[in-house]
Amino acid sequence: MIPPNTTNKFKDITSRWRTMSLFFEYRRGEIPLYSLSPEEKKLEVDGKTLTFPSLHKIYLGYNHVPGYEYDFANEWLGGWAHWQLMLKNKLINPYFAVWREEMEIKLQASGFYSMINMSKDPKGFAAAKYLADRGWKGMRGRPSTEEIESTKKAMALATSAVEDDMQRMGLSLVVNK
């Protein structure tokens, strides 16, 4: 149900993103859209039974990597910005943390099943192993300029200290070219 004075069911009457009011468990004035529990909820309103689907089940129904829920956010919420705002909410974020953990376990299990099924055929084994090993956890981009500079400075200091120590001990380093 779309709140009065707005055309977007994910925004309140002042055009702010709805967060807690979207859920049956935190309903106050506005009609919620979903339940946070693993099962759908029902509510009797004016003689009609309203059903609130489980966003938990919907979330787990997607094949996505935790932290990369773009399609889910765009199809079931107001989009990526709305999802990011909801993740910052201290009362409902713990639900999402549990969902993400459950999704990781689901992906790992799927990877293990795939590896078992592919044990006779090496094609596709690497992708299944990636899922089972949570390969996305180690994904990291290029180091920042600050990190590179910091590493260079640390290496220069270490090199200088070793050279000073060697000089004090009367040793020299001979490099063959």
- pLDDT below 50 — which residues of the chain? 1-6
Closest CA to 56 of 92, 82, 91, 14: 92
- What are the C-alpha distances in Å from 25 to residues 28, 41, 142, 170? 9, 9, 42, 75
CB-facing half-sphere around the CA of 16: CA atoms within 13 A: 7
The pLDDT of residue 59: 95
Tally of CB atoms within 10 A around 4: 8
* pTM confidence score: 0.63
Helix (H) or strand (E) holding 42: strand 41-45
How far is Cα 71 from Cα 79, in angstroms, rounded to an integer? 8
Rounded to 5 degrees, what are φ and ψ at 39?
Answer: -120, 155
pLDDT for the residue 162: 76
Which residues, in sequence order, are CB contacts of 149 under 8 Å at separation 6+? none
For residue range 134-149, list pLDDT tens digits in order. 776 766 667 788 888 8
